[in-house]
């Protein structure tokens, strides 16, 4: 929210995150009621919607500012008033306690789809790890570690990760996987979910179809 000069017809709002590390907001708004309100509300994520609002990342410092124009038509460069001073806010902390590892899909495949749920539907960006090592060692000499970022609103199904075609799982091996919300910028990474191994059916059918 902000105070503005009476008679403003347009506003421009910019919301920029720490070090430009992720999605930002830069909007010009001409709706009279919204301009008159002297406020702007960032909408919650809406998975799958045409305007899904995948914007706010957790534990991140944001800087925002506003300027207005008095002209009745689309403002030209010279129509805008000065920018307000910068203001700041920080988004809330998240953790992995709200995440549940749901399923390993495509049983019998060496490219399973791993699906998770999250009771906190504000989170849409995740880190995923898959490894034969239950401790997920990433050092030289350890088993291959899949460690990737996934936008849960853009995967199919939502909140899922499919083993890439160029790096299928090794036949006859058991794998473990885990997930956590992605924290970036000036935030502090959070702990992972407890690791989950593949179902017995998945292990046995991979062994039969893809022997070492």
Cα separation, 61 vs 121, in Å, equals: 20
Q: pLDDT tens digit string along 45-71?
A: 999 899 999 999 999 999 999 999 999
Helix (H) or strand (E) holding 205: helix 200-209
Q: What would the pLDDT profile of 136-145 be if each residue is shown by its tens digit?
A: 998 998 999 9
Q: Can you give the residue ranges of every domain in the chain?
A: 10-90, 96-209
Q: Rounded mean pLDDT of 21-41?
A: 94
Q: With contact defined as beta carbons under 8 Å apart, do 87 and 44 qualify?
A: no
Taking phi over 0 as left and psi of -120 to 50 as alpha, with beta for the rest, 148 belongs to beta
The pLDDT tens digits for 91-141 are: 999 999 999 998 776 666 889 999 999 999 999 999 999 999 999 998 998
| Percent of the chain residues past pLDDT 90, beyond the cut | 77
Architecture of domain 96-209: Sandwich (2.60)
**For residue 79, with 0-12 CB atoms within 10 Å meaning exposed, 13-18 middle and 19 or more buried, which class applies?**
middle
pLDDT value, residue 197: 77
Look up the pTM and report it.
0.84
3-state secondary structure of 88: strand
* Residue 107 confidence (pLDDT): 60
């Amino acid at each position: 929210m902000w105070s503005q000069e009476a008679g403003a017809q347009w506003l421009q709002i910019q919301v920029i995150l720490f070090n430009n590390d992720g999605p930002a907001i830069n909007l010009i708004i001409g709706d009279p009621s919204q301009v008159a309100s002297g406020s702007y509300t960032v909408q919650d994520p809406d998975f799958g919607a045409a305007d899904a609002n995948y914007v706010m990342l957790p534990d991140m410092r944001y800087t925002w500012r506003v300027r207005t124009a008095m002209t009745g038509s689309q403002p030209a460069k010279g129509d805008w008033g000065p920018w307000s001073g910068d203001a700041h806010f920080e988004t809330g902390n998240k953790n992995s306690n709200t995440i549940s590892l749901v399923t390993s899909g495509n049983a019998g495949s060496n490219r399973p789809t791993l699906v998770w749920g999250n009771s906190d539907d504000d989170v849409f960006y995740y880190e995923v790890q898959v490894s034969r090592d239950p401790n997920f060692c990433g050092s030289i000499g350890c088993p291959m570690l899949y460690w990737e970022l996934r936008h849960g609103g853009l995967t199919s199904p939502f909140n899922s990760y499919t083993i890439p075609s160029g790096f299928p799982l090794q036949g006859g091996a058991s794998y473990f996987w885990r997930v956590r919300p992605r924290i970036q910028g000036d935030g502090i990474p959070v702990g992972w979910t407890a690791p989950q191994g593949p179902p017995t059916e998945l292990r046995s059918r991979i062994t039969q179809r893809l022997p070492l």
